[in-house]
Chains A and B, each alone.
Chain A
Amino acid sequence: MRIGLFIPCFMNELYPEASMATLKVLENLGLHVEYPTNQTCCGQPMANTGCAHEAGELAKRFLKIFKDYDYVVAPSGSCVAMVRENYAQFLEGEDGFEHLKTHTYELVEFLHDVIKPTNMNASFPHKVGIHNSCHGHRELGMASMSERNLPAFSKIEKILGLVDNIEFVTLKRNDECCGFGGTFCVSEDAMSAAMGIDRINDHLSAGAEVMTGIDMSCLMHMQGIIDRDKLPIKTLHIAQILAGES
């Protein structure tokens, strides 16, 4: 099985530890992973701002780089949602697109749906709040949504539950948006920050020591608020917990 590792552009530049942890999680499970070094951005920031032409160019580039892998795995729900939900507009009918679309997975989703590990060889003796990032949550279906009347499940909780000594807290609003929203975080910066503070406070009142999630972008936004307001909580990408680090 050839797995192409896709590391979101900003994670490559700013979060080498979470990125490396993603690689380790996969390698610890005995998987062979390649990281194509000419990769850059999936085009999501452009697409979410309406710049279809620019997003299309990057989508074509992405397809060329990743189409020959059996699976593409990324530590981000929103970048994967971009490929699966929004690439069709740019790539429908292109050679290899159907395969790319159906074989690109978010890390936890890949573990849950494809690899199905029974043990992670990791311990994390902390109270953890799960931030259900919207694109992973509602586009990829990582967990049941509070809006819908369907059986409850959470792929994130199931995989994180394989980590020893971890304790989950219960939030008042289990799947409310943190307000990052891509370019929304600067085009509606006041709203973005207000939503972020509310999300952090929910985790704080639930007694969480650590907020974790599958999207570094949401965590980066909330960590920015935590650092500014000096709040007694920290964020950690889920890969870092699963890799048995920190």
Chain B
Amino acid sequence: MGHPELAEKFIANNERMHWHDKALWFVREKRDLAAHGLNEWESLREVAKQIKTHTIDKLDFYLEEFEKNAKEKGLHVHWAKDAKEHNEIVLKLLLNRGSKKLVKSKSMLTEECHLNPYLEENGIEVIDTDLGERIVQLRNEAPSHIVLPAIHLKKEEVGKTFEKFLKTEKDNCDPTYLTRAARVHLREKFLNADASLTGVNFGIAETGGVVVCTNEGNADLGSSLPKLHIASMGIEKIIPRLKDLSIFTRLLARSATGQPITSYTSHFHAPVEGGELHIIIVDNGRSDIIANDDFKQSLHCIRCGACINTCPVYRRSGGHSYGYTIPGPIGSTLGASKDLRTNKTLPFACTLCASCSNVCPSKINIHNQLYKHRQSVVSAGLLGAKKHTILKVATWVMKHPALLDFGGKMARKIVPKLPRSILYSKVNVWGKKRELPKFPKNSFKELYKQREEKK
């Protein structure tokens, strides 16, 4: 099923759809307050864009600088060209140390690589320690949002899930009670883990260290207790200098949730005592995106989720309707770049309202990319013969004004006389929820010509 069908299912529950829309709009409004509270907001966005543009253009240089400086600090650096290599490296690192229990903090990259099922097949226990991620993991679902993974769930549903897996009281869905239950559950997992994996928000070329931003502190606890810490990082996470970081930390949390900064901004520049810190630098299709001028800006993304929260389509269809690891506008362009055939409906899950491009802290031209991806869908022959034929015929008519005039005249004569049963038959998709416009007697052109003749 494509986005239109999955969206229709989500919309069918009107109450839930509006609940979801309002929850995300609330986050968008918090973001507005934070963004409008900084006079320099628009210049911060511009500087962020310039840093990202510069870095992506010289990515080979900065990646090597990062590797060199990281190694000098005693960190291990690995390169993975795709998801498979990434997953194999993780497994090998775990097996080398005999690790069997891995605690993970949020990482969309490992979702993208489908790391969890791979490790579980190989006998590793994987525990997502971000609260939202843990909830969806228990339910065997994918995150529906990159910052708020369980935003599609109501507290009652979380209560039921915890009842089943964490043995909480029956029908108790008090958020404080449930959070405490999760804390007890996760604390035990942290204490027993023998390895940790985190994502990376920023890799600093100048220092060779990585920065991880969380609100729950789970990345810190996870990476501090076990002796093995693996950090998975997409190649686009590099920034040149430490002083560039503040531009992004100021933008990130404000854009994401309206907070001035995430509760934890943790810098990792060395392993824990007697331990190892491994950084896996992952390409997985990113180089192909860099090679395409229309889409390379999508690698400026700092994964704040602002475009997702603002998207009127996302808010009313939920993250799972996209069927790609990252939902919403940025996910639609990344998904289409990654696998156009599978994700061919995503560039069209958009009205081109352009809210995403204007909310984006690194000024990615997201809606222009979705517009361009539609052309790729057509060139690849994936639009569907019926739609393409209709538009080809329409174009032919539009090149022949007399024919258009005649067609219009006939339609204005015939349509008003048609019985409702014919006019609103199944082929009239417009008419499922809407009336057709009332057809007038004359076109504007006819009236204009009449008027000119009278002059």
Contact = CB atoms under 8 A, between A and B. Distances in A.
Interface of A: 7, 9, 11-17, 19-20, 23, 35, 37-41, 43, 45-52, 54, 57-58, 61, 86, 134-135, 138-139, 145-150, 173, 175-177, 179-196, 198, 220-221, 223-225, 227-228
B412 to A, nearest CB: 7
Contacts of B383: 49-51
Contact of B430 (A17, A145, A147, A189): A189
B285 interface: no
A96 B352 CA distance: 28
9 contacts: A12-B408, A14-B440, A43-B398, A46-B391, A47-B371, A50-B376, A51-B392, A147-B358, A195-B312
Interface stretch (B34-42, B97-105, B180-188, B272-280): B34-42
B437 A52 contact: no
Contacts of B374: 48-50
B442 A54 contact: no
A20 B351 contact: no
Contact of A193 (B317, B376, B433): B433
Contacts of A50: 347, 373-378, 383
A58 B391 CA distance: 12
B412 A40 contact: no
Interface of B: 3-4, 7-8, 11-12, 17-18, 21, 25, 32, 35-36, 38-39, 41-42, 310, 312-313, 316-317, 347-355, 357-359, 371, 373-379, 383, 387-388, 391-392, 394-395, 397-399, 401, 404, 408, 411-412, 429-430, 432-437, 439-440, 442-449
Given A12-B445, A50-B347, A228-B435, 13 more contacts: A9-B398, A15-B440, A49-B387, A51-B378, A57-B395, A146-B32, A147-B358, A148-B358, A149-B36, A190-B11, A198-B21, A198-B316, A224-B433
Contacts of A188: 3-4, 7, 313, 348-349
Contacts of A182: 351-352
B358 A138 contact: yes
Contacts of A147: 32, 35, 310, 355, 358-359
A193 B36 contact: no
A13 B3 CA distance: 32
Contacts of B4: 187-191
B7 A190 contact: yes
B42 A148 contact: yes
Contacts of A15: 437, 440, 444
Contact of B433 (A20, A37, A86, A225): A225
Contact of B401 (A40, A181, A192): A40
A191 B7 contact: yes
Contact of B440 (A16, A54, A150, A186): A16
Chain B interface, >50% SS class: helix
A39 B402 CA distance: 10
Given A14-B439, A50-B376, A52-B378, A138 B433 contact: no
A51 B447 CA distance: 32
Contacts of B395: 43, 46, 51, 54, 57-58
A45 B378 CA distance: 14
A15 B108 CA distance: 49
Nearest to A177: B353
A15 B408 CA distance: 12
B434 A221 contact: yes
Contacts of B434: 193, 196, 221, 224-225, 227-228
A237 B437 CA distance: 14
Nearest to A180: B351
Contacts of A187: 4, 348, 387
A128 to B, nearest CB: 21
Given A12-B443, A228-B434, A191 B8 contact: yes
Contact of A41 (B18, B352, B398): B398
A174 to B, nearest CB: 11
Nearest to A184: B351
Nearest to B358: A147
Nearest to B44: A149
Contacts of B350: 181, 184
A37 B451 CA distance: 13
Nearest to A62: B398
Contacts of B312: 176-177, 179, 195
Contacts of B36: 149
